[in-house]
Structure 1
Amino acid sequence: MERFFYLIKDDMQKVEEEFQTRLASQVPRLTEVAQDLLNRGGKRFRPALLLLSARLCGYKGRDHIPLAAVIEFIHTATLLHDDVIDNAEVRRGSPSANRQVGNRYSVLTGDFLFCKSLAIGIDIGNLRILQSLIAATTALSEGEAMEMERTGDVGGVKNVSITEEENLGLIINKTAVLISAAMRIGAILGQAPLPLEEALASFGLAVGIAFQMVDDCLDYIGDEEILRKEIGIDLKEGKITLPLIHTLAHCTAAEKKEIEQVVLSDGFPPDGLQRVTALIDKYKGFDYTFAKAQRHIDEGKERLQILPPSREKEALFAGADYVVRRRV
């Protein structure tokens, strides 16, 4: 990741400082819970993309720093809410916030981060940037709701029938829109011409899709110590992602029934993850998903071929390559 971050190291440090100065609250506990999760680290991939996009487009001001913090605030808010929805135990190597302070406080802290994000957007005073932030947060909420309905959490019927197209729609809403927004906001700051803005946003969308596809593989075959979170959560929650979608399309009727028994059972079988992972491996569901992720990265890079060679473009491509190579 050195090639990805080397141009923006100083700005990334300023973003870290921004985290601390922007989270003041009349309720100190809200600040503490938010800062605890932010201080656990994380890849900081999304804010870095905004900084690189702004730099590539020639931006010389300072608003990129608080806006990069906003992107990470929104991402952190979604993690807090996701952990409540998924009843998670661990986040970034430590007990998740819902385990430490309870579900209600986790939800309130996520709401607090969303409000702080919009307040910063309003302070900056660029309507198009604010529209981008609102559109992204709306899509994130809709994506989560769509997924909950598919897993039977809110009046839906849990089932294993989901198409690749439907899964792609979930990925776009749940992950890719925020990464795309980070790229677009950098372009807006730099007053890039509309074709370049759209190219950068499309690159971000492609990278975001690939990012989630790799995540969906790692949820089966990742190393928990490296990931710093439990694997198999998606399967236990009844979430059918691309590796399993591909497997269901190619396995035998008996194997499909076995998968359904694991996914639809009231109590998740102790060997459920192992059994399903073996079937995905048998039908090369992981290979298929990694290859799909690589194709999205290639398409994203193609959108930026309108740009001449530059260190910023090289850094963006390095970040894109990391997405499909990463195991964390």
Structure 2
Amino acid sequence: MNTFTAQPQTFETIQKRYALHLRDCRDHIIEDLRQSPGTAVLTGYFQEGKRIRALLTFAAASAIGIEPRTIIPVASALELLHGASLIHDDIVDEAVERRCLPALHVRLGIGPALVLGDYLILRAFTILQESRHVCGSEQMLAALHTLNSYAQLCCLGELHDLIPTGDGNPEDEYFTIVRGKTASQFAAAVTLPAIAGGGTPGEIEALRMYGINVGIAFQIQDDVLDIIGDSGVLGKPVGTG
């Protein structure tokens, strides 16, 4: 792994560094969704958003010497998976707004929203395979397996949130949910480029732990904002997750 001198950096600084890659990721997703009249309705939801998972993907790629532009399909796949989780979350939470737009189930109905969310999950795996030109078949299989594993963890985290066991410490319950729902996505974001790009086991594990910890910190902050945040800034009603 490359050696860096640690320097404090704001989110905005890192976002600016990868602005062109984030734009290309957004355009890649929107172009793909426009291929079908049935999925074109989703393009508005991917126009906005911080694309934090994509940003982490590009930063992780750079950290181990991979040109970020070559793993745009990886970043796009993760954003599609995240988009699916938001659609399903909004249905579960009965949220009415997402990214300053009506939630998809409010706009189209629960049935179409469920199907479109499912489609995004499946499409993520197809998009991920577009990165096969930068990795061998063995690495591609490992990347697909990793995305599948983290997607399952995300679902289990959501399920744990909906059906809590009630027999444990509330703090432990909370972190179990957070590791599944959010930290798993962040871990995928930083490990997938390393797996696809041939990173060493040590690099992959270090990135995985980093992703988990950043994901936990992100979710704690998000939960605090759900209590004290401003809906105009959040792009959704306060308290909707």
TM-score by length of 2: 0.86
> In the alignment, residue 191 of structure 1 is paired with which amino acid?
G
Q: Tell whether the 8 Å contact from 1:47 to 1:72 is kept in structure 2 after alignment.
A: yes
SS at match of 1:230: coil
* Structure 2 Cα separation of the partners of residues 162 and 90 of structure 1: 32
Compute the RMSD of aligned alpha carbons.
Answer: 2.0
* Structure 2 Cα separation of the partners of residues 140 and 4 of structure 1: 26
* Structure 1 Cα separation of the partners of residues 16 and 226 of structure 2: 29
Change (3 A) 1:223 1:162: farther
Structure 2 counterpart of 1:134:
148
Structure 2 counterpart of 1:73:
80
* Structure 2 Cα separation of the partners of residues 199 and 54 of structure 1: 13
SS at match of 1:233: coil
> In the alignment, residue 35 of structure 1 is paired with which amino acid?
T
Taking only the aligned residue pairs, the percentage that are identical comes to 29
Report 1:1-328 matches (<5 A). Answer: 1-24=11-34, 26=36, 28-32=37-41, 34-39=42-47, 41-60=48-67, 62-123=69-130, 124=132, 125=137, 126-150=140-164, 162-233=169-240
SS at match of 2:222: helix
Q: Tell whether the 8 Å contact from 1:24 to 1:31 is kept in structure 2 after alignment.
A: yes
Superposed CA offset, 1:48-89 (max 9, x none) = 100111111111485411110111100000000001111111
Q: Tell whether the 8 Å contact from 1:74 to 1:113 is kept in structure 2 after alignment.
A: yes
1:175 Cα shift? 0.5
1:204 Cα shift? 0.8
* Structure 1 Cα separation of the partners of residues 95 and 23 of structure 2: 30
* Structure 2 Cα separation of the partners of residues 25 and 160 of structure 1: 48
Q: Tell whether the 8 Å contact from 1:57 to 1:186 is kept in structure 2 after alignment.
A: no
Moved more, 73-82 or 181-190: 181-190
Structure with the greater alpha carbon radius of gyration: 1
> In the alignment, residue 9 of structure 1 is paired with which amino acid?
A
Q: Tell whether the 8 Å contact from 1:57 to 1:192 is kept in structure 2 after alignment.
A: yes
1:193 Cα shift? 1.7
SS at match of 1:29: coil
Q: Kindly tell me the number of residue pairs found equivalent between the two proteins.
A: 224
Change (3 A) 1:233 1:10: closer
Superposed CA offset, 1:217-236 (max 9, x none) = 111111111112111336xx
Change (3 A) 1:226 1:160: farther
* Structure 1 Cα separation of the partners of residues 68 and 189 of structure 2: 17
Structure 2 residue runs without a partner (length 5+):
1-10
Structure 1 residue runs without a partner (length 5+):
151-155, 235-328
TM-score by length of 1: 0.64
Q: Tell whether the 8 Å contact from 2:105 to 2:112 is kept in structure 1 after alignment.
A: yes
* Structure 1 Cα separation of the partners of residues 199 and 74 of structure 2: 17
* Structure 2 Cα separation of the partners of residues 61 and 44 of structure 1: 15
